[in-house]
Amino acid sequence: MKKGWQIFWHVFFWVCMVCFFGLITHNNTKISIEGLLVIFVLYGFINIGLFYVNFLLFIPLFLNRKKYLKYNLTLFIFILLIGFIKYGLALFFKQYVLVRGNMHGVISFTSYYISAFFTSLIFVFLSTVLKFTLDWFLNERIQRDLENQRLSAELAFLKSQINPHFLFNSLNSIYSLAYQRSETTPEAILKLSEIMRYMLYECNDNKVDLAKELQYLQNYIDLQKIRYANKAFVDFEINGLISHQRIVPLLLISFIENAFKHGVANDPQSPIRIVMDIEPEHLYFKMENKKHQFNKDWAGGIGLNNVKRRLDLLYPGKYQMKIDDGADTYTSELSLNL
């Protein structure tokens, strides 16, 4: 909130409070307008001043710096002085403040001073509560901002790992085609160009259309089929209606990358099987592939760890991931509330 608006709301609050209590007092005791002006305006300014002296000066200067003794001593002396000032004004406006009708006589110094002292304590208490409440909310907001910045930085780092990881694997595939002088090398480069264009320009938002993400996965599968000279066998089954659903980009690609990298893709009897069941607010993804017994990736592990961490950050409590690393097959499942 801007400073000007803060001042406005503070002034508005105190004016409303003074008018409210003045109206109640006038209706109940029939004090004259002059008496109301003296009691609620003059003494109201004194009490409100005490409120802000504690709020803006004493608490930041002493209490926030853990100078408790100085804070209590300074505040006590200040309240005592305020009490004498109030009584001096009460003597000057005796007919409005100290005289409470013929039946009650004149209020004594002791009675008045004790009442004024405890009234001051109430305003000090209110200002202290308000200060600590505002500081607590401010600290909470700062902590949330810092946490959001930390999470944003971590997500950006995780996402930055995906592109080099994907590019590294894809360039290896195209290098193999070029080394073999395959006629499909230009087509593979074009397909990679389309994939990279999506990754660079379509994935800048937190979420993308599910249809675009599925097309990206299909392009990746097509690229791998080119690499295998169209001898890669993949069953890609999509069930359900794709409409308005959106998903965090580049979330599913690591599962498919792992299947081609560690699994057997050229066995027509055991194809890589990908099943996606799509509902308006839910996505179920399952992938199963035959394991390649001699393919050990000592430098791997980035992909799925990356996926799990992104799921923890972006879909907390909204997903279930299951990995079954069997003797002959590798199965991964993801149930996700979109």
| 8 A C-beta contact, residue 249 and residue 202 | yes
In whole angstroms, how far apart are CA 95 and each of 33, 156, 305? 13, 72, 81
Domain-terminating residue out of 121, 144, 167: 144
Does 194 lie in the same domain as 133? no
What is the Cα–Cα distance from 220 to 258, expressed in whole angstroms? 12
Cα-flanking dihedrals φ and ψ of residue 307, to 5°?
-60, -45
C-alpha distances in Å from residue 82, one per residue of 11, 242, 278: 22, 72, 72
The yes-or-no verdict on residue 46 having pLDDT over 60 is yes
108 within some domain: yes
State pTM to two decimals.
Answer: 0.55
User: Which residue do the tokens 């009584």 mark?
Assistant: 87
Please state which of the ranges 10-14, 158-162, 232-236, 285-289 shows the lowest mean pLDDT.
158-162
Strand partners, 237: 275
- Beta-strand relationship, 272-278 and 234-239: parallel
Does any domain span residue 112? yes
Residue 259 sits in a domain of what CATH number? 3.30.565.10
Query: Is the CB of residue 122 less than 8 Å from the CB of residue 156?
Result: no
Determine which of 13-22, 55-64, 279-288 has the lowest per-residue pLDDT on average. 13-22
95 pLDDT above the threshold of 50: yes
Whether the Cβ atoms of residue 252 and residue 238 lie closer than 8 Å to each other:
no
Query: Are residues 306 and 244 part of one domain?
Result: yes
> Residue 298: which pLDDT band, with cuts at 50, 70 and 90?
very low
Handedness of CA 304, 310, 313, 315 (dihedral sign): negative
Q: Is 206 found in the same domain as 134? A: no
For the chain, what is the domain count? Answer: 2
Domain identity same for 127 and 201? no
118 and 186, same domain (yes or no): no
Domain shared by 211 and 266, yes or no: yes
Q: Is the pLDDT of residue 19 over 70?
A: no
Q: Is residue 211 part of a domain?
A: yes
pLDDT in tens, 26-39: 454 555 566 666 66
What's the pLDDT at 299? 40
Residue 259 has pLDDT above 70, yes or no: yes
Residue 209 lies in a domain: yes
Tell me, yes or no, whether 215 and 93 share the same domain.
Answer: no
Looking at the structure, tell me whether residues 217 and 330 fall in a common domain. yes
Q: Mean of the per-residue pLDDT values for the chain?
A: 78
Quick one: CA dihedral 137, 139, 145, 151, positive or negative?
Answer: negative
Of 144, 174, 195, the residue at which a domain comes to its end is 144
Q: Does the residue 149 lie in any domain?
A: no
CA 105, chain centre distance (Å): 62
Least Cα distance to 96 among 83, 80, 112 occurs for 112
For residue 206, CA distances in Å to 21, 152, 231 come to: 53, 11, 36
pLDDT at 102 over 50: no
Q: Is residue 155 part of a domain?
A: no
Q: CA-CA distance, 87 to 110, in Å (whole number)?
A: 10
- 267 plus 139 within the same structural domain: no
Position 260 in a domain: yes
CB neighbours of residue 93 within 10 Å: 17
Q: Is residue 159 part of a domain?
A: no
pLDDT above 70: percentage of residues in the chain: 78
Same domain, 195 and 305: yes
Query: What is the distance between the alpha carbons of residues 182 and 173, in angstroms, rounded to a whole number?
Result: 12
Q: Which of 165, 158, 199, 183 is nearest to 305 (CA)?
A: 158
Instruction: Report the alpha-carbon distance of residue 143 to residue 213 in Å, rounded.
Output: 34
The range of the structural domain enclosing residue 64 comes to: 3-144
Q: Is the pLDDT of residue 63 over 70?
A: yes
**C-alpha closest to that of 210 among 241, 165, 183:** 241
| Residues 320 and 238 both lie in one domain | yes
The answer to whether residues 205 and 315 belong to one domain is yes
